[in-house]
Structure formats: C-alpha cells, structure tokens
Amino acid sequence: MVGITCLNIKVYLLSPDKMLIFNNPKSNIMKKPEKQNITGRRDALKMMGLGSAGIVTGNLADMSPAWANKVEKMTPPSKGLPPIKITNVKAIGVRPGNIDLVVVKVETSEPGLYGLGCATFNQRALAVIEAVNKYLPDLCIGRDAENIEDMWRVAYYSSYWRNGPVLNNGISGLCDALWDIKAKRANMPLYQLLGGKSRFAVDCYTSGDGQSPEAIAENVQKAMDDGFRHVRIGAGRYGGPGVLGANPDFRDAGYGMPTDRFMFQRGYALAIPKVFEVVRKRCGDEVELIHDIHELLEPRDAINVCRAVEQFHPYFIEDPLSPENTHWWKLFRESTSVPIAMGELFNNVNEYLEPMSNRRFDYIRCHVSQIGGITQAMKIAHLGEWFNIKTAWHGPTDTSPVGHAALAHMELVHPNFGIHEGRGGFSDRLSEFFPGCPTIKNGYMYVNEAPGVGVEINEKLASKYPATNDGGRWTTRKRDGTIISP
C-alpha cells in the first residue's frame, strides 16, 4: 500500500485499481479535517490527474498520524488461490444391492483434486449416466471449477428445454462435485463453507412399518429404544400393497403386468387412523409420528385422512397431493391443521415458489438431486426461512451416501432445519463402496470432519457392480387396472 499527497488530499493506494481518498491530516489549508465532497469518480480523477484508477472514499482524516502510518505500510490483500480448470466429468453408476446409485466425478487441473456429487435417479439411472457422459464433458472441460453458480446456469440453460429429472440429476452431480472441490481447496468440511453449524448433529427419522397396527407399534418402540425420536409409520409399504387388499380383478383378467402393484385406496384411508391410534396407545405421546400418503389418494380422501389423524398430533403428513393437484392447496390448508410436508416430486422453482410464499405447507421435501443440487437447495432453504417453512429433504435409500452427506452438511447449517430422512445407518457393504459414510447414533446423523463432503467412492469395486436398467417402475393400479399417480 502506498500513500501520496495531492493538494489537500491524502491518497492510499490499495491495489492497482483501487484507492482511498482523504483529507491530508497534516495540511494547514483546513483548520479542521473533513472528508472531501467528491461528487463522482471523474471529478476525483480530474482533480488529481490519476487516469483511470478506481476510487473508494472513506473518512480516515481523524485517525492519528501513527495509525495513518500503519495503514500506509499494510500488505496488499491476498488474491487467493490460483484458478483451477475442469479437466473431466464422468458418471459412475453402481448397484451395491437392489438400487442403482449414480455419482458424478469432476476432475481438475490441480493434481489429485476432484469432487463427487450425487446424481441418483434410480428409475432412470442409465439415462442420467448417458446424459452426464455424453454432454457434460464437452460443456464443462476448460471452465473455471470455482464458479459454481455460473457453471450451474450454463448446464441448466444450455439445453434450452429444461426442468426434467434426468438433466436436473446430472446438473446436481456436477454442482455438488464442485462444492466438494471448493471445500477441499479451503481445507474445511462443506458445512463450514456454507456458514457453519446451527446444531451439533442432524436429527433423523426412521421407518416403523409392519403388517398390522400392532406390528407397527412394536417396530416404533424398537426405533425409540435405538434412540430415534421421530418414526414414520404406515400400513405395509406405501398404500399397503399386499396388506390391505386381496388379488385384484385386473390380474385375473390378465390386464397389465405381473409386477404391477395393487392398492385398495378406501381400505388404506380407513386403516391409517387406526394405525396412529394403536401406536399412540403403545408408544405414548413423546415420539413424533410421520406418515407418507405418497400422493396415492384423491385430494378429498387425503383431506379426510388428515382430519382423522389430527387428534394423534402427527409431526407431519407427507405428500398428500400429487403435482397434478396443486390447485387443491388452498382448500387443503383451510381444511386441516395437520402439518404438511411437500415437494418430493418438484423439479423447478415454479412448483414451489407460490405455495411456499403462501405458506401452503410446513416442510419442504424436495429430492435435492431432482432440483439441481446444493446450489438450488440452499436457495430454497433460505426462502423457507421467511415463511416459517422447515427443511425435510427427501433422503430414501435411493440417495447415495454422497447425497446423504451433502444433505447433512446443509442441514447442519440451515436455521430452519426440520428433520432428515434417515435410514437407520449405512451397511458395512455400502460403506465398502462409499468410504466415509455419515454415521447415525441415538437418532442423530454425524458427518465426518474431512474436507469437502467427506465421502469417497471405491471406483474399482464399483466397476464390478455397474448400474442396471432394473430400477423401480412405480406402477400402481386400482382394482379395475386404472393407474394411480404416485
């Protein structure tokens, strides 16, 4: 930093293009030093004949000469780390069990520095892999790996048609890998880079389903004994296929496929309040109970179910409406006081901006790789702060450990965090594929403190178990064979 005096002005050069302009405290021209009234950059430049240097004005005239001397000797600010470029982008598909997981790896010009991001779309895993491997390398190689927002927008808008789950998952993998890289360069866990902790760990819920209300209550009690304070309950799997209904007529008629599931919607709607009643009697009022309708009921029936379970004080009811029935939100909100979690199937801002700003639900439930990753999720979380909406990101078993860790890092930061969809932990087998998995203890998820997201992938092992085309197909039918929208 260099100090020069010009007329009655003291100029502190901060850098080649910035300077501070103040009255000269030692000047006798003015009895009392005052900041010069410089109306604009051009006026200052004309006055001093300093060409095109940038100007930053401030009032240091009253500082002591000793301090002014220190300012003159200050070291110019650091320009930060050298830039790095993206050198490769690739998708890694792996099937450790019965679910296809997809992770994107971004490599950089700094030797050994890379990032990982979750891009799992189990039902269309091969389509995501193809999109990443065929389109993202040409789009990304040579670009600055530090400019995450710009890279996100390039990937999002360059296809012109946008907001589909396949491309959004690809963008998510790319975006989250860049966040991983940035945190690794900063030598800190991702949550530190995002703002630091708002809590010591991430509270999780687990599942307590069963074949009968009594069996469900037993499983809830086991989860409580393991330290969980939040448990999701339901009759069998979503909608109770094989539990609440006998063989449907469409199968006898040879309609559809043998793997198509049957749901008896009315039987399900009548069974859920009974499940809540039995669990509350067995397990008490302290445990927080969650139920997922999974968009499988008609809107009026979903309203009736929510009304029926109000007396049992659920923590929230998840996804009562399908994306095709969002026009029901106002009536739904006016019809029940049950907290609502929504958004698992949302793809883009137009699906959640209006209902969030009108407080139509209480928890935002997006599948983060579906909306484009950490960059978008942080924006949604901040939006929710202003409308008293908490986060409850979708985190099923078809989110990779890389994805779960990314969720947990964000959830450590969000002041409006609600709950993490836990899974009871990560198996030893899964941890072989993904070293560094988060851990769950007493119902809390902990990330490891390694720089970045903290989870790696064993590419050699993953190559032996590649992703398949055998993802879930979500085909559920009524008794006569009519498709039910999930």
pLDDT-based confidence at 165, cuts 50/70/90? very high
Give dist(CA 416, CA 483) in Å, integer: 37
* CB-side neighbour CA atoms (13 Å) of 134: 8
Are 23 and 119 in the same domain?
no
Average confidence score pLDDT of the chain: 86
Quick check: is 473 in a domain? no
Amino acid identity of residue 335, one-letter, is S
Q: What is the mean pLDDT of residues 274-289?
A: 97
What integer pLDDT is reported at residue 74 of this predicted model? 60
| Catalytic sites, residue numbers | 238, 294
CA distance 153 to 255: 45
CA 402 to CA 405: how far, in whole Å? 5
Q: Quick one: average pLDDT of 139-165?
A: 95
Query: Can you tell me the mean pLDDT for 322-342?
Result: 94
φ, ψ of residue 116 to 5 degrees: the values are -125, 145
- The count of structural domains within the chain is 3
Residue 370: predicted pLDDT: 94
Confidence (pLDDT) at 303:
97
β-bridge mates for residue 89, sequence order: 106
Helices (H), 346-483: 349-357, 368-371, 374-385, 401-413, 428-433, 459-462
Same domain, 177 and 209: no
**Are 167 and 196 within one domain?**
no
List 417's β-bridge partners, or say none.
391
363 vs 54, which has greater pLDDT? Answer: 363
Q: Are 122 and 471 in contact (CB under 8 A)?
A: yes
Rounded to whole angstroms, what are the CA distances from 439 to 281, 301, 405, 407, 457?
Answer: 31, 39, 10, 13, 16
196 and 65 assigned to the same domain: no
- Do residues 427 and 322 both lie within one domain? yes
In a domain, 41, yes or no: yes
In a domain, 78, yes or no: no
d(CA 208, CA 431): 23
Q: Is the pLDDT reported for residue 14 higher than 70?
A: no
Domain span at residue 49 reads 2-72
Average pLDDT over residues 10-28: 46
Greater confidence (62 vs 432) lies with 432
Domain termination site, one of 72, 100, 128: 72
